[in-house]
Homo-oligomer: A and B are copies of this chain.
Amino acid sequence: MTSANILLVEDEPAIQELLAFNVAQCGYRAIQAFDVASAQTEINRALPDLILLDWMLPGVSGVEFAQRLRADSRTRDIPIIMLTARTDERDKIQGLEAGADDYITKPFSPRELMARIRAVLRRRAPQMTDDLVCAEGIELSPTTHRVSAKGMSIELGPTEFRLLHFFMTHAERVYSRTQLLDQVWGDHVFVEERTIDVHIRRLRQALEPSSTDNLIQTVRGSGYRFSKE
C-alpha cells in the first residue's frame, strides 16, 4: 500500500517525464507507457493501482481506452485520472462518464496532481466494489447513471446527478456554496454562487414526488445539508 504502482499513459515525452518525476518524488512507482498498446501490455503484465490517462493519444483515444478498461472485469476497479489540455466542461462530463475517477486539466501544478492521486487512492480503499450508493431511501448508481427512490425512477440532468451524488456520499454535513462549487463543479469553473440555489431547487423538485420532504435542508447563512431532517 505504501508504494502504489501508477501507470502513466501519455504520449508527449516532456509531460511524461514531468509526471514520472513527480510520481516518483511522492514514493510511488511510475510505469511509463506512450500509447494505448504499450499501456495494455503493462496492464497484462501486472495490474497497476492507478492509471493516469492522457485525453489525447495517438490512435485510440484516452476515452475509448477508459471505456475498454471499464468493460474488462480485471481492470474495472482500477481508478483512472484523466489528463487533458482542454478546459471544456463537456469534456469533463464525458471523461467522467467514461469511467474516470477524477479529472485534471493541463496545465496542472505538481502538488495538485499529487493531491488528487492521494485522494483517489484513499477514496478507493473503502469504496471498492461499491457500485450502488444508498442514502435516505435513495439509490444512485454512478456507473449506470440511474437514480431511484421508493421503486420509482428519477430523472436527473448531469449537474443534478453529480450534485445528488456528492450529497449522498457526504450526508449530514453542511456545505457552503463555495465548497459545493469546488466539489461538484470544479475549482477552475467560474459560476455565480446563486446558481447553486437554482440547481438545489431543481434537485428538490425532481426528488419531491418520490421521497420524504426536506431531504436537502437549507442552513441559513451557511449552505445546504443532505440528511433525513
Contact = CB atoms under 8 A, between A and B. Distances in A.
Interface of A: 14-15, 18, 85, 89-90, 92-93, 95-97, 99-103, 106-112, 115, 118-119, 122-123, 143-145, 157-158, 172-174, 178, 182, 187-188, 190, 219-222, 225, 227
Contacts of A112: 101, 123, 190
A27 to B, nearest CB: 14
The secondary structure that dominates the A interface is mixed
27 contacts: A14-B90, A15-B93, A85-B89, A92-B106, A96-B107, A96-B108, A97-B110, A99-B109, A100-B109, A101-B109, A101-B111, A103-B107, A112-B190, A115-B123, A115-B190, A122-B182, A123-B187, A143-B173, A144-B172, A144-B174, A144-B227, A145-B174, A145-B222, A145-B225, A157-B220, A158-B220, A158-B222
Contact of A119 (B110, B144, B188): B188
